Structure 1
Amino acid sequence: MSGSVLITGGAGFIGSHLADELLRHGYRVRVLDSLVPQVHGPDAGRPAYLDPEVELIKGDVRDQAAVQKALAGTEAVFHLAAMVGVGQSMYEIERYTSVNNCGTAVLLEAMAQTRGERKLIVASSMSIYGEGRYRDQSGAYYDNVTREIGQLQRGDWEPLLEEREPLIPVPTPEEKAPSLASVYALSKYDQERMALIVGGCYRIPVIALRFFNVYGTRQALSNPYTGVLAIFASRLMNGNPPRIFEDGRQQRDFVSVHDVVTACRLALEVDQQKQQLFNIGSGANISVLQVLERFCQVLNVDSIEPEITGSYRAGDIRHCFADITSAREVLGYAPRVKFEEGLRELAGWLEGEVAIDRVAQAHAELAQRGLTL
C-alpha cells in the first residue's frame, strides 16, 4: 500500500516519529494537531522536529470542518489524538472525555459519511487492562485482580488471594478482560470499541493497537503527565529527586517509540481479514525502580537518590506487561531496540533540551483532591 495518510495528533511524540516512518516508506503524510499548550508550550507553532514534507493542519479533532478537511484525499488514518495521563484524567474528567471520546466520535462520523475503503488504525492503551494477568502457585490464571483500599493504606502493595497467597504477574494477552481503573483508561477503551463497532457497520477496516509504556525522544519534558521516563528526565535535569509511587517495584513493559511506529506501519500494510487488536510492547518486564537506576547510570547522575513516596495514586495498578504473540504472528512485529540502547538515545537527545519541572505541582494537584493515599 502507498498513498496519502492522515495522522491525528501527529505533531506529538509518537505521531511525529510515525510520520518519519511513513515518509521513509514512500507515503505522503498529513497531520491534524491542535498543538495543545500542555504538550507543545504556550505559543506553539510547527515543531522543529516535524519533517518539512509533512502537511500540518492545525485543528481540533472535535471540529467537524477541520476533520473533514484533513480526511480529504487520504487512504488511511492513524488516530493518535488524545489527552494522555492517568492522574490528570481523574480530575479533568470533562476534558479527557471530550477530547478522547467525542473527538473519536467526530472522526468516525466523518469517515462513515465518506464511505471509502480508508483504513483506520487506532492508538489504544495497556491502561484498559487495569491489573495485568496473574497466576497462583498451582498455575491457575487470574484476570480480575484488584487491590482493596485498606490494603493500599497499609502499604501492602502486592495483589493477594483471599488466603493471603501471593500472586505471580505474567504477560497479559489481548483476551484478558478490561478492568478500567481511570477515566483515561475508560476513554481509551471507548475509542477502540467505538472504532471497531462503527468500522464493522460501515465496512471500515480497523486495527486497534494497545501501546504499553512508550519512551523515546520528543516527549514533552515539561508535561508532568507524560511518560514516566520523560518525568524522570525532567526531575533529574533540574537536580531534583525523581518521585516514585508505592515502593517502585511495580512492573511495566517499556517499548521504544521506534518499535511502536514500526508496528503502526505493519498494521497499515497487513492483509487484514477482520477487525483486530494487538498489544504493542517489548515483551519484557522491568520494575519502575530498575528503570530509574538504569537511566541514572546512562545520565551519570547516580548521586541523586529517588524519593520513594510510599503512597498510592488513584487509577494506578501494580503490574502489567505485554504478551506480544499475536502481533508477532499476524503483523510480523519484532521489537528491535534494546532498552539500554533506547536509553542512550534518549540521554543524547536530552543534552540539547530544556525541561520545566512541574512534577511537584502535579503531585500537589492530586493530593489536594484526595487522589493519593
Structure 2
Amino acid sequence: MNVLITGGAGFIGSNIALKLIAKGYGVTVLDSLSEQIHGANPELTSPLYRKIKDKVVFIEGNVNNRADWEQALVEIDYVIHLAAETGTGQSMYEIKKYVDTNIGGTALLLDILTNTKHRVKRIVVAESRAIYGEGKYHCPQCGVVYPLERKDEDMAKGDFECKCPKCGGEIRFVATAEDSTIHPLSIYGISKQVQGQLVHLVCKSIGVESVSFRYQNVYGPGQSLTNPYTGILSIFSTRIKNGNGLNIFEDGKETRDFVYIEDVVDATILGMEVPDLNGHVFNIGTGVAIDVLTVAKTLCEKYGVKVPITVSGNYRLGDIRHNYADITAARQILGFEPKWNFSDGIEQFTNWVNQQEVREDNYDASIEEMKKKRLYK
C-alpha cells in the first residue's frame, strides 16, 4: 500500500512517514520545504527533511500546483493531507497566503480526484482545534454556551476571561467535543474549518472515505526551534536558550492542551488503518488544560536557566483564552489513548533541545510585524 503525505517533511508529517515506513508502507512526500520551517538550505538546515529524504519518494512541490499533485498521486492508496500554513497570528495579516494554501490547495486535490482516474481509498486531513474558537463553556444561569470573540476594550483593561454570550455573566471552560459549535476566531481557523468541510463533502460524493483530526498543541523532539510564529514551547525554549526574558501574554492563566508527537502519529495512522471510519471527525489531545505561566516556569526549571518572566497583559487579536479536548470519541471509536502526559513529554522535549545548537531568536521581529498590523496590543 502506498501513502502520500502532503507536508510530509514537516514536524508531524516526517514522524508519520518514518512510522509508516517501519510498518511496511511505501511513502511519497509532497512538500514545498518552506524556508520559515526548513531554513534557507534544507539539506543543511532542516533535520526534519534530512531524516526522510532518502527513505521516501520526495517531491518538492506546492499544493497549489496541479502538476505537482498529479505527480504525487500516482499509484497512491491513501492521502494524509497535512500541508498548510499554520501560524494563527500570522494568518491575520497574510490572509491570501493562508486561504490559497489551506483552502485552495485542498480544493485542487479534490478537483483532481473528482475528474481523473485514481486509486485513492481514503483521505485523512488535519483540521485544528482552532476551528472551535473559544470552545465550550458552562454558565451557571444558561447552561452550555459558546462565547464569542473577546472584546478589545475588555482585554485592554486586563479583563481576559470570556463572558456568557447570553447573560454576560462569568462562565467556566469545559472540554470541547467534536459536536461543539464551530466558530473560528482567526483566518487560520477559518481555513482549517473549510478544509475539513471540503474533504468530507467532496469525498462523500466521489466514493472516497474521509477522516479528519482536530489536533491540539502538538509538541516534541524535532519541532522547529526557528519558526517564531508557531509553537509556544519552541518559542519559549529558544528565548530561554538565548538568555532572553519571557513575555507572558494576558495574565498567564490562558490554557492549552499539549499533545506529544508520538501520540499524534499513532492517532493519525489509526485514522488511516481502522475500518468503518468514513466521515468521522476526531479531537486529538490529552484532555488536560495547562496554563501558559506553568509552561514558562517548567521550561526554565528543566533548562536550569533563570530568565525574567513578565506577565505583561499584552495580547494578540485572534488568540483564544482556553481550549482543551474531549477525546471520548477518539477513545471509543478510533481506539486512541494518549500515552504521554505533559510531565513526561516535556522531559523528552527539553532533553532534545539541550542537545541542539542554540538557534537565533527571531521572536521580537515577529511581534514587531504584528504591532505594525495593529494585531498586538
In the superposition, the TM-score normalised over structure 1's length comes to 0.95
1:319 to partner: Cα distance: 0.6
2:58 is aligned with 1:56: yes
* Residue 282 (structure 2) aligns with: 278
2:106 is aligned with 1:108: no
Aligned partner of 1:204 among 200, 205, 208: 208
* Map 1:1-373 → 2, pairs under 5 A: 3-45=1-43, 47-50=49-52, 52-112=54-114, 113-137=116-140, 140-161=143-164, 165-301=169-305, 303-350=306-353, 351-373=355-377
CA distance in 1, matches of 2:25, 2:262: 17
1:136 to partner: Cα distance: 2.0
Instruction: Please say which of residues 348-357 and 183-192 is displaced more in the overlay.
Output: 348-357
Offset from partner CA, 1:17-66 (integer Å, 9 cap, x none) = 11122122221111110101011011223722326322211111111111
CA distance in 2, matches of 1:179, 1:144: 9
Offset from partner CA, 1:198-224 (integer Å, 9 cap, x none) = 111111101010000001122121110
1:353 to partner: Cα distance: 3.2
CA distance in 2, matches of 1:28, 1:115: 17
CA distance in 1, matches of 2:88, 2:365: 16
Instruction: Give the secondary-structure state (helix, strand or coil) at the position aligned to 1:114.
Output: coil
Instruction: Give the secondary-structure state (helix, strand or coil) at the position aligned to 2:364.
Output: helix
CA distance in 1, matches of 2:149, 2:91: 20
1:276 to partner: Cα distance: 1.2
1:300 to partner: Cα distance: 1.4
1:273 to partner: Cα distance: 4.8
Offset from partner CA, 1:162-194 (integer Å, 9 cap, x none) = 766321110000111111211111111111011
CA distance in 2, matches of 1:239, 1:111: 50
- 8 Å CA contact 1:115–1:202 kept in 2: the answer is no
Offset from partner CA, 1:275-297 (integer Å, 9 cap, x none) = 11110111111101111222222
CA distance in 2, matches of 1:316, 1:58: 32
The number of equivalent residue pairs is 370
CA distance in 2, matches of 1:137, 1:147: 19
- 8 Å CA contact 1:6–1:71 kept in 2: the answer is yes
**Structure 2 portions without partners, runs of 5+:** none
Aligned residue type for 1:313: R
Percent identical among aligned pairs is 39
CA distance in 1, matches of 2:290, 2:141: 24
CA distance in 2, matches of 1:275, 1:194: 12
Offset from partner CA, 1:108-128 (integer Å, 9 cap, x none) = 122222353421000110001
- 8 Å CA contact 1:20–1:51 kept in 2: the answer is no
Q: CA RMSD in A?
A: 1.6
**Structure 1 portions without partners, runs of 5+:** none
Instruction: Give the secondary-structure state (helix, strand or coil) at the position aligned to 2:79.
Output: strand
Aligned residue type for 2:29: V
CA distance in 2, matches of 1:360, 1:96: 22
Instruction: Give the secondary-structure state (helix, strand or coil) at the position aligned to 2:222.
Output: coil
CA distance in 2, matches of 1:63, 1:110: 11
Aligned residue type for 1:186: I
1:307 to partner: Cα distance: 2.8
- 8 Å CA contact 2:147–2:163 kept in 1: the answer is no
> Aligned in 2, Cα 1:138/1:120: closer, same or farther, shift over 3 Å?
same
In the superposition, the TM-score normalised over structure 2's length comes to 0.94
- 8 Å CA contact 2:88–2:318 kept in 1: the answer is yes
- 8 Å CA contact 2:133–2:182 kept in 1: the answer is yes
1:153 to partner: Cα distance: 1.6
Following TM superposition, the consecutive aligned residue runs of length 4 or more in structure 1 with deviations greater than 6 angstroms are: none
CA distance in 1, matches of 2:8, 2:195: 17
